[in-house]
């Protein structure tokens, strides 16, 4: 086990993992994004407050029981880079990281902790 750790440390000297937000080398305990960039992503209160602004966007359009987003979207910040890496670069590590973050929030939420399933709707644009 310690040999594997030494090997990983050696490889990270040559090929360091880079923060997607600021392009700085990540520390050993950091995944995908550094602590500083993560701190600057504005979180929502959607997992604490059931009647939130995201749920209100759907009122009168579709029937939903709850809606939540982990973070507020701000143009040109680390979150936008993370979403771009997931969506357009098919960065699976980013998808796993973001999935863990939202799962943690859902698990600790009073009204999301008993979800039977999550429905994600994909809206596909017609090809010209």
Number of domains in the chain: 1
Show the domain range for 26. 2-108
Does residue 128 lie in a domain region?
Answer: no
Residues 59, 65, 71, 75, CA torsion sign:
negative
- Could you say which DSSP state residue 77 is in? S
Dump pLDDT digits (tens) for 24-81: 999 888 999 999 999 999 999 888 888 888 888 888 888 888 888 889 888 989 999 9
Does residue 116 lie in a domain region?
Answer: no
> What is the per-residue DSSP string for 29-58?
T--SS-HHHHHTSPBPSTTT-SS-HHHHHH
Does residue 24 lie in a domain region?
Answer: yes
Does residue 118 lie in a domain region?
Answer: no
What is the rounded radius of gyration, in angstroms, for the C-alpha atoms of the chain? 18
Does residue 121 lie in a domain region?
Answer: no
> What is the per-residue DSSP string for 89-105?
S--HHHHHHHHHHHHHH
Give the pLDDT score at 19.
93
Q: What's the predicted TM-score (pTM) here?
A: 0.71
Q: Find residue 71's DSSP bridge partners.
A: 43
Does residue 57 lie in a domain region?
Answer: yes
Does residue 115 lie in a domain region?
Answer: no
């Amino acid at each position: 086990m310690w040999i594997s750790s030494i090997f990983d440390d050696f490889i990270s000297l040559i090929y360091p993992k880079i923060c997607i937000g600021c392009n700085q080398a990540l520390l050993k305990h950091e995944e995908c994004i550094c602590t500083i960039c993560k701190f600057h992503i504005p979180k929502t209160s959607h997992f604490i407050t059931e009647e939130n602004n995201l749920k209100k966007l759907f009122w009168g359009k579709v029937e939903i029981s709850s809606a939540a987003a982990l973070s507020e979207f701000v143009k040109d910040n680390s979150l936008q880079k993370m979403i771009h890496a997931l969506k357009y670069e098919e960065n699976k590590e980013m998808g796993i990281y973001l999935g863990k973050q939202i799962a943690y929030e859902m698990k600790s939420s009073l009204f999301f902790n008993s979800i039977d399933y999550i429905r994600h709707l994909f809206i596909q644009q017609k090809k010209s």
